[in-house]
Amino acid sequence: MSEQEMRDRVIGLVFGGEASRFEHFCDVLREALPQNSGAVLRGSSITGERWNDHAPFDADGTGTSDLDLTLIGEEVIELYKPEGFYIPLIHSKPLSDKDPDIAPDLVPLREKLQGLVDRPVNIQATRDFVRYVREELLGQPHLTLIERKEAV
């Protein structure tokens, strides 16, 4: 699937076909993140179906499927508490209803994003090499929302 096809799918499934709502979501995210951070969307908003049972996005009703947002970079990793990691200081658990206290500084952003899409938004953080492995070696689809720029 091309970037444009993924973008179109997300806009259709999550933003009611309104590209301006998608752009506003990205702008809010961009304003809240540290300068050298990136962000991608993964999961059913990209593929159109859940990974475990292949049910369609929002199969349980409008707003029931979540957004899987992954933040990339050193500074976003540092926003998570030590207990908030699958791999310490490398790959975090998602900030979600299940683990609402693992990244307190990201809670206001999560709440704002959820208000924009009227559905859960889970926020994970990872390092570039984990992103590379997932995207390039494992072939997991993702949509880049914010390209990470290297520190100069």
pTM over 0.85: yes
* Three-state secondary structure string covering 36-99: CCEEEEECHHHHCECCCCCCECCCCCCCCCCEEEEEECHHHHCCCCHHHEEECCCEECCECCCC
Q: Per-residue pLDDT for 119 more than 80?
A: yes
pLDDT digits (tens, 9 = 90+) for 5-28: 999 999 999 999 999 999 999 999
- Residues 36-90: tens digit of each pLDDT: 999 999 999 999 998 889 999 999 999 999 999 999 999 999 999 999 999 999 9
Q: Rounded to an integer, what distance in angstroms lies between the CA atom of residue 42 and that of residue 57?
A: 12
Would you list the domain boundaries of the chain?
3-146
Give the number of other CB atoms < 10 A from CB of residue 109.
21
